[in-house]
A and B are shown apart, each in its own frame.
Chain A
Amino acid sequence: MTPLLATKGLSRNFGGLRAVDSVDFTLMPGEIRAVIGPNGAGKTTFVSMVSGRIQPSSGAIVFDGTDITSLPAYVRVRQGIAYTFQITSIYANLSVYANVALPVQLTLRHGPSKSAIQAAVMTALERTGLADRAHMPAGQLSYGHQRLLEVAMGLALKPRLLILDEPTQGLADSEIDNFIVLVRDIASSATVLLIEHNMPVVMQLADRITVFNAGKILAEGTPEAIRENAAVQEAYLGTAP
């Protein structure tokens, strides 16, 4: 089976800092993959290169068998890579409905009717539990609901690969439980790449975990294997006495 996403020697320098250092990474279709690592490990820089927000200094990115390294971000989105922002980035002055209508009208480009747009918007809002808030200005949503709106906008793109950058950051525990259900639901139709700091979430959701440290992949494996991995424990907790 061809991997959905593969990177070869992917690197990015910021001045003298090598934020991502020749990373070889593969992701199979249908997976939920968590990317974890200490702050400054290069996780966000890595997914930003995959989504096209940042250009790599060197290396290649292959999506579903095609080299996408030189494609601009908006083309990658159209090919099925959706990115939800770590720092909530919604259209605060537009209604929740309008926020989701924008990605929907892109996916329905060929002969979209008003009713088709409406149906697709409401589907995305119902999956994220925002349907009853459709006509509120997005800026008036609670923070947790704004995070969900981010995901709804990603879902509306009907992605093959959905990148979630710290989606549970700032959410209440009750909201996190709903979120786990939602991500499982998403994973039935898309591959999920999840950057996450909340370990219980990672352990419950991920099929496999990739650990970043200092711009490199430190370890990769099932949640159990990562939990037992001595190098990972060292990176997170310091050297064992």
Chain B
Amino acid sequence: MSEASPAKAYALHLGVIALLFVLSFMLPDYYHGLLARIMVLAVFAMGYNMLFGYVGLFSLGHAMFFGAGLYGAGLAIIQLGWSVPLALLGGIACGAVLALAIGLLALRTTGVAFMIVTMMFAQVFYLLILYFAAWTGGDQGQVVPQPARVLNLGATSLDLTNPTVRYMSALVLFALVLLVTLAVVRSRYGRVLVAIRENEERTKMLGYDTFSNKLIAVVASGTICAASGAAYAVLFGYVGSSFASVQYSILPLLWVLLGGAATTLGPLIGTVFMYYVIDVTSGYTSAYLLIVGIALILLVLFFPKGILGSIRQRWLGWLP
């Protein structure tokens, strides 16, 4: 909200990126791999947050955008033999085109209807994956073969199955999306998005084409989620229908709510926190989801704005 302290905000975000870089050399193997996965999924959460947090559009179908990236990139390698960079671009393009089509249709609705419409489209997407099992591998999914997961950059070639390369690739994607999100949120366009969330009717009467602005936000959000999906396919080598199921539409919502909707770093914090809680509790009991659920209920009751949202409200008003 505040106009001041752009330097502070950028310093904080660069600091977080630097911290993640340093962690790569300090973490034990297990957590090193986990954090790489978390960074890729945090990109998914950031894409969701752009629409849910900033525009206030409650989608329950974002798994289809993640899935579009995942299958777009994965199948391009498995079935078409594309190289990694092309497959990544293909996956992202799939997500962008899908988001444009879904946006044009779903944005005729708002509120609960928007939630239901996006969820229905996501179910259609999920069922299509199962229906075309011959191509997609159905509910078994498919493995992206290791030899194909190599990124050729001129003379050097990077083996994406190598843990360090994988971690750094995830970090590059994460940092890129984080900084783009920060720039968008602080831009004039970001202010229009928040205005639509706060009072759409008023925003129209201030001369803004709210439909187009929302459509752009849906496409941006879908594209970011597809980038996360495409990176997941390439870095972790598995393309499965569970990633397009309704569970993966709800997860980014939970991560964002936990970390703090409409905060730039909330999605990362929420994703880390959720994985941390699952990791710790699953060591003690097989009913760890019960404990996760209780933790979520307590959080929503006492910190409805999420971890970072509460911190911003109470202490650090300048957080973007």
List residues of A whose CB falls within 8 A of some B CB: 51, 53, 72-74, 77-78, 82-83, 85, 89-95, 97-98, 101-103, 105-106, 112, 153, 157
Contact = CB atoms under 8 A, between A and B. Distances in A.
A157 B206 contact: yes
B1 A103 contact: no
Interface string B173-209: 0000000000000001001101100110111111111
Contacts of B191: 98, 101-102, 105
Interface of B: 1-3, 188, 191-192, 194-195, 198-199, 201-210
Given A98-B191, A101-B191, A102-B192, A89 B202 contact: yes
Given A101-B191, A105-B191, A74 B1 contact: no
A103 B207 contact: yes
A51 B206 CA distance: 11
Contacts of A73: 204-205
Contact of B198 (A53, A82, A93, A153): A93
Contacts of A105: 188, 191
Given A74-B204, A93-B1, 14 more contacts: A51-B205, A53-B201, A74-B207, A77-B206, A77-B207, A78-B207, A85-B205, A91-B195, A95-B2, A97-B3, A102-B192, A105-B188, A105-B191, A106-B206
- Among A74, A94, A153, max chain B CB count under 10 A is at A74
Contacts of A102: 191-192, 195, 203, 206, 208
A106 B207 contact: yes
A102 B203 CA distance: 8
B198 A74 contact: no
Given A74-B210, A101-B191, A94 B198 contact: yes
B56 to A, nearest CB: 11
A72 B210 CA distance: 11
A80 to B, nearest CB: 10
A153 B1 contact: no
10 contacts: A73-B205, A74-B208, A74-B209, A77-B206, A85-B205, A90-B199, A91-B195, A94-B194, A102-B195, A153-B206
Contacts of A112: 188
A106 B202 contact: no
Contact of A90 (B2, B202, B208): B202
Nearest to A121: B3
A166 to B, nearest CB: 16
A89 B204 contact: no
Contacts of A153: 206
A53 B199 contact: no
Nearest to B4: A135
Contacts of A51: 205
Contacts of A72: 209
A91 B188 contact: no
Contacts of B206: 77, 102-103, 106, 153, 157
B214 to A, nearest CB: 13
B204 to A, nearest CB: 5
Given A102-B195, A105-B188, A105-B191, A157 B207 contact: yes
A91 B205 contact: no
A173 B233 CA distance: 68
A53 B202 CA distance: 10
